[in-house]
Amino acid sequence: MPAKSKAQQRFMAIAEHNPGKLRGKKPDMTQAQMHDFAATPTKRLPAHVKPMMRDHSGGDVLNRLASE
């Protein structure tokens, strides 16, 4: 699975190669999964991805509003 942003790609590269530098939660992934994220080309990736709005039931508010 490829990374969705440059920030995610960098985070996974650090997690894969130098996990001692991570602050906070460490990813619960195999080495191969981290490599897949870290190996994503960054040319067309956005710097960051905005978090999606969610309602309390866990559904996606924007998709629900669009379907109404």
Tokens of 57: 């039931």
HEC assignment per residue over 1-68: CCCCCHHHHHHHHHHHHCHHHCCCCCCCCCHHHHHHHHCCCCCCCCCCCCCCCECCCCCEHHHHHHHC
The pLDDT value recorded for residue 49 is 84
The pLDDT value recorded for residue 13 is 92
Structural domain for 38, as ranges: 6-67
Residues 6+ apart with CB under 8 A from 21: 14
Domain count, the chain: 1
pLDDT tens, position by position, for the chain (68 residues)?
A: 788 899 999 999 999 999 888 888 888 888 999 999 999 898 888 898 887 665 555 556 555 555 55
Is 1 a member of any domain? no
The pLDDT value recorded for residue 6 is 92
